[in-house]
Amino acid sequence: MVEAIFPPASPAGHSGPFALFQAEGWLLGVASVSLVSGLEATTEALYSDMFHAARGLRFARIWNYVPAINAGGGSGLENYQVFCRGRSLAFERHFGAGFKTFLPAASAVGSKTAELSVVFAACQAAMRHVENPLQVSAYDYPREYGPRAPSFARATIVRNREQATVFFSGTAAIRGHGTVAPHDTRHQLDCTLENLRELSVACGLGPHLDTGCGATRHFKVYLRHVDDQPWVAAALEERLLQPRDLVSYLQADLCRAQLNVEIEATLCPPFIS
C-alpha cells in the first residue's frame, strides 16, 4: 500500500538536494544523496541543507534511510553510529548547545541503496516533544552506543485549533537504554507494544493509542526477517489494530543489529492538551 499521512501536496520547488512540497500548512521535503564524502560528512551536510530548506519552521517528524545501517563504518563504529554523529553535530551547529529541546520524532532504518535518504515534515504550529518514562531519552544514551547519541524525541505532538497530529518515533524493544530479548522477535514485539502504550499515556492519549476516540491511525511496521510478517500481522490484529487503521509492513534492517521489529505510528485524534 502507499502511505499517505498528509493532505494532498503541491510541488514547492527545491532547496539544495531537497524537493519541497506544500500540504495545508505542512512543508515536506525529501532528498537522497550519494556518500561520496563518507557517511558522517554527508549526513552533517544533508541535515544542514534540511535546516536551510525548512525556512525557520519547526520540525515535527524526520524519516532517515541509512545504507547498510548495521555494517562497520570505520573507527570501530557501525554505520548507524556514524550517521548519529553527523546528525548530532548538524543539530548542535544549527541550534547550539541546547539543541536537544528542538529534536522531533524520527526513525532511522536500513536502506538497500547506496544513498542516504531523509524526509522531513515541518510547520509553524505549536508542538510538544514527548519522552517515554520506561526509556532513557535517546539523546541521553551513554557512550557505549556511540560517540554521539541519537538525535530524536520519542514522540511529537503538533497542535492546531481543531485537532492534533501525534507522531510516534520508530519504537522498539528498548527498556532504559538496553535491548530487550536480543534477536527474539516474539518477546521484542511484547516489549514494543508496552512501550507504545506507555508513550501513548505520556502523550495524553490513554493506554490504547486513542482507541475509540475517532483518531485516524497510521502504523508502519519494520521487520528484519520477512518470515516474521504473517504472525506479527496476526498478533497486531489481535492486540493493537482496529478495522479502520492503516498499516504497512516493510522489511528493513534496524538501528541495532539485535532488534527484529520496530513500529512507528501517526495519529490524528481530536484536540488534546
Instruction: Just list the catalytic residues.
Output: 262
Nearest of 248, 252, 245 to residue 267 by alpha carbon: 245
Cα diameter, the chain: 50
Q: Which of 80, 62, 60 is nearest to 71 (CA)?
A: 80
d(CA 198, CA 174): 13
How far is C-alpha 151 from the chain's CA centre?
A: 10
Collapsing DSSP to helix, strand or coil, 105 comes out as: strand
The SS3 of residue 246 is strand
